[in-house]
Amino acid sequence: MPLLPKVARACLHFWEEPSISGEKGSGTVFFSGCTLSCVYCQNYEISHLKKGKTVSYEELAQIFRDLESQGANNINLVTPTHYAVSIKKALEIYKPKIPVIYNSSGFERVDTLKMLEGLVDIYLLDLKYLNKEKAYKYSNAKEYPSYAKACITEALRQQPFCIFKDKIMQKGVIIRHLLLPQSTREAMAVFDWVKENAKGAYFSIMSQYTPCGQLKSYPEIARKVTKREYEKVLNYICQTDFSNVYIQDISSADKMYIPDFIK
């Protein structure tokens, strides 16, 4: 991707966790491109096909202003990793008065997050896999688990506590895990790691997996997660004393919730 950021869409987004979207919506900026190559990506049009519009640092800062003026609860930077330098420059031009969210796949270098310290209020990070083989097979990133765990540790160093105002998160860390078909054990292992190593964070278990992308060679994940699979994971989580958990309704596995990047 080029040095200047390529933006696919900027809008108020209402389908994040309750403490992120709230009633006013999250001021979401979807960036084109990605550091991963997930075969099941729901945002395939922008992550793989890289649809979008290149903007200057000043134009990106103006997007932040516009979303803030629309009443957004926060500025939500989706898939920002490869534009971290540009985002830093834009935030130095204009730092919103509302929280800034770094919404990432988790495939990060610790130095990148350190560079953004003081500019990011909330880290919304994936922990997609602990299994290297799955990380390589589905996202072409065998070393993903080690990078993601180090990234979460750094995020928690910067934002060790979750702080809320009127039920909307102002600072903190949320760790997401998207349950894949035939991956209940992996989901449980991810939850166990978060419970033991990220006590100050919230955990968000997601049921929204919708078969997308290029799945002809991956028949085992060319279907939605079953209710039985999801409930197995939920029951496991609910048997613990870790209460900072967001649970997504299984009806979220629907293409209607995928943003329209053509508009």
pLDDT for 256: 60
- Stretch 104-112: mean pLDDT: 98
Nearest Cα to Cα of residue 128 among 108, 156, 112 = 108
Residue owning tokens 């958990």? 245
Residue owning tokens 């509302």? 98
Cβ pair 191, 236 in contact under 8 A: yes
Angle value at C-alpha 122, between 256 and 61, nearest 5 degrees? 80
- Domain assignment of residue 109, yes or no: yes
- Stretch 187-197: mean pLDDT: 98
pLDDT in tens, 203-257: 999 999 999 878 989 999 999 999 999 999 999 999 999 999 999 988 775 666 5
Angle of helix 144-158 relative to helix 184-197, nearest 10 degrees, comes to 30
- Domain assignment of residue 162, yes or no: yes
Number of domains into which the chain is organized: 1
User: How far apart (Å, rounded) are the C-alpha atoms in residues 176 and 173?
Assistant: 10
Range of the domain at 83: 6-257
The CATH number for 109's domain is: 3.20.20.70
β-bridge mates for residue 175, sequence order: 125, 203
- Stretch 61-89: mean pLDDT: 98
pLDDT in tens, 38-67: 999 988 788 877 889 999 999 999 999 999
pLDDT for 248: 92
β-bridge mates for residue 262, sequence order: none
User: How far apart (Å, rounded) are the C-alpha atoms in residues 97 and 75?
Assistant: 10
- Domain assignment of residue 263, yes or no: no
pLDDT for 253: 58
pLDDT for 104: 98
SS (H, E, C) 164-215: EECCEEEEEEEEEEECCCCCHHHHHHHHHHHHHHCCCCEEEEECCCCCCCCC
- Domain assignment of residue 262, yes or no: no
User: How far apart (Å, rounded) are the C-alpha atoms in residues 156 and 160?
Assistant: 5
Burial of 241 (0-12, 13-18, 19+ CB in 10 A): exposed
